[in-house]
Chains A and B, each alone.
Chain A
Amino acid sequence: MDKQELRLTPEEARLTGLSREEYTDSNFAGHSYLHEILITLFSNRATAISLACIAVIVLMAIFAPILSPYSYREVHSEATNLPMRIPGLEKLGIFDGTRAGVDQYERHGVPDEYHYFGTDNLGRDIWTRVWTGTRISLLIALLAVALDVLIGVTYGMIAGFFGGRADLIMQRVIEVLTGIPNLIIMMLLLLVMEPGIPTICLALAITGWVNMSRIVRAQVLRIKGSEYVLASRTLGSPAMRIILRKILPNTMGQIIITFMFSVPNAIFFEAFLAFIGLGVPIPMASLGTLINDGYKSAMLYPYQVLLPAAVLSVLMLSFNLLGDGLRDAIDPQMRSM
């Protein structure tokens, strides 16, 4: 992006008696709105780190399963519960595939294999499974949040813009929905429908949109009364044009912030549902189902549950920090001191 320098026009230069070069102010050079946001975003160390973490995890989720020599679903009954073994680090005496002083890879007859995160109780490579699981968790979360945005923004716009009786009824619907714990709604839905990626997304979205619609409605109510909307209305713009051209762009910041906080929430609920036995069906794996599987032998083979739990935790933490950073950048008034 070009830095535009604040320069005097020839007329102003003549009036002030300064040459144009002398009056060039590069400290307060004009930035576009986006540029401004990006600068604030990256000057925050926590945000920059969390963005990097998300990038690494997403890249791993995309490429690690492709590059891995093992499949996430292939069962190897001879190489079960192998400990972690990482080339390079094994020379330092850590992650060298031994447990209680015995080389487990030797013992199970696979001395040449390297399972970075070990294998599970069916001999499946955990490294591949963790990244495949991350892929599915991210996919579910993004799809669910996309649905949230679609439903929530439409609902909030209609309720906020048209107001009156429609708004009254729509708010009562939301009140009843928020009167029931999210978890119960999701659980019942997944009991009636078979758990799979689409149904889990639907279950997450059916409760998730409420928050989005509330925020959008509040924004619309605020913007609706402003002069430029009144001006546009006076000039005869139809409702649709006002919504799409005047109101939507001005609520975008809040929508993006809410989106960022919804993603970790969706990731969490997906894992939560998996933990209570309503996760994606086997042999598919998500971070939640991996944690659920690993939990059974957590005391014997802690790495089987700690690794997916760590990826999940870093992912959720990063998205939350990124959300905080974005909120500070987009809406400085809401900055949390």
Chain B
Amino acid sequence: MKKYVLKRLLMAVATLLFVLFILFCLMELMPGSPFNNPELTPEQRASIEAKYGLDQPFWTRYVNYIANMLRGDFGVSYNIQQNMPISDLLAKRFPVTVRIGLQAVALGVTLGLLLGVVAGFNHRRAADSITSAVAILGVSLPSFAFALLLAYFVGFQWKLLPFLYSTKQPFLSSLLPSLTLAVSPMASVARYTRSEIIDVLGQNYITLARTKGVGRAALTVRHVLRNVLTGVITVIAPSIVNVLTGSLVVEKAFSVPGIGGLLITAIQENDYNVTFTLAFIYCALYILVMLTVDVLYGLIDPRIRVAKGE
């Protein structure tokens, strides 16, 4: 187990360094320099460059860059809010995104499990068909379609919930964005749970348990759900990734002041510094999620670490 975790950790660090290297190279390639003022004499420019470490060799600057990024010193924004440190830009927005994301995952997984269990135990009945239809819609339809429908009908026409995020009602106005984001995890968890339950119900040990006279409740909880739930974590991982990606769409659609919306603004305003910082943060979050899930799964299911690690 130790070897497996160590290996995954090493891979995660390598990926992160690779991402930083790519971002650093792109920064170098991007045209323009912050010190293009024609009034600067060559001496002044040299002294400014020395001050910011721009006269150092490539690898020294790369190491400095990594150190700065990991310390949370991302530099300043160029266009969005001139000379505002990016960490300040992020400080308020990051919690909003995380909150909506966590709400979405919690909501999606809970609903998905419920739907999946109902469908799985009612295989080939109406409940099953309805759930399957909901699941396939949730998997296939793009997130902005849901964002649009929810914002237009629930928010605008029926006025049940606010369709624009407001800092005055952080909970109420975060419901629609969370709900939109929850659709994808809900659908994939429901699909997975359903087919696993149907699979497990056909296994010999279930027949054995039934023959031995195990009650319906005990059978469901101890024999079926226990075997199904360990696997659900594998589908939660890609769903969290979808939630990360979806946060861009949803934050734009509902005007949420989070990092996804900031990234879109940065792209449109050509603020490279902010864009690259957010790219780094998204990658770091992604790598963290993947690492956690892999390690958790290795803990739960020993077969995985044998297959992947040793």
Contacts and interface: CB of A to CB of B under 8 A. Distances in A.
Interface in A178-195: 179-184, 187-188, 191-192
A240 interface: no
Contacts of B249: 272, 275-276
Interface string B67-82: 0000000000000000
B89 to A, nearest CB: 18
Interface in B150-200: 151-152, 156, 195, 198-199
Given A268-B142, A276-B264, A320 B15 contact: no
Contacts, number: 111
Given A179-B15, A181-B283, A184-B283, A276 B241 contact: no
Contacts of B279: 184, 187-188
A302 interface: yes
Interface string B260-290: 0001100110001001000100110011001
A170 to B, nearest CB: 15
A32 to B, nearest CB: 31
Contacts of A313: 140-142, 145
Interface in A234-290: 264, 268, 271-272, 275-278
Chain B interface helix/strand/loop/mixed: helix
Interface in A288-337: 291, 295, 298-299, 302, 305-306, 309, 312-313, 316-317, 320-321, 324, 336-337
A208 to B, nearest CB: 15
A102 B22 CA distance: 57
Interface string A93-117: 0000000000000000000000000
A299 B15 contact: no
A266 to B, nearest CB: 12
B137 A302 contact: no
Interface in B100-148: 123, 136-137, 139-142, 144-145, 148
B99 to A, nearest CB: 20
Contact of B136 (A180, A298, A320, A337): A320
Contact of A180 (B15, B29, B275): B15
Contacts of A179: 11-12, 15, 18, 286-287, 290
A191 B267 CA distance: 8
A90 interface: no
A277 B264 contact: yes
A295 B253 contact: yes
B90 to A, nearest CB: 16
B46 interface: no
A168 interface: no
Contact of B267 (A181, A264, A276, A320): A276
A175 interface: yes
B265 to A, nearest CB: 9
Contacts of A192: 26, 29
Contacts of A187: 267, 275, 279
Nearest to A182: B245
B140 A317 contact: yes
Nearest to B276: A188
A306 B148 contact: yes
A171 to B, nearest CB: 11
Contacts of B137: 317
A179 to B, nearest CB: 4
B18 A176 contact: yes
Nearest to A299: B156
Contacts of B268: 277
A234 B144 CA distance: 56
A181 B248 CA distance: 13
Contacts of B63: none
Contact of B286 (A181, A305, A316): A181
A312 B123 contact: no
A291 B156 CA distance: 18
A320 B139 contact: yes
B252 interface: yes
B252 A275 contact: yes
Contacts of B272: 191
Contacts of A305: 148
B14 interface: yes
Contacts of A337: 123, 195, 198-199
Given A295-B253, A317-B137, A337-B195, 10 more contacts: A182-B245, A188-B26, A188-B279, A276-B264, A277-B264, A299-B152, A302-B152, A316-B141, A320-B136, A320-B139
Interface of B: 11-12, 14-15, 18-19, 22-23, 26, 29, 123, 136-137, 139-142, 144-145, 148, 151-152, 156, 195, 198-199, 241, 244-245, 248-249, 252-253, 263-264, 267-268, 272, 275, 279, 282-283, 286-287, 290
11 contacts: A181-B286, A184-B286, A188-B22, A268-B142, A272-B249, A276-B249, A276-B267, A309-B142, A316-B141, A317-B141, A320-B139
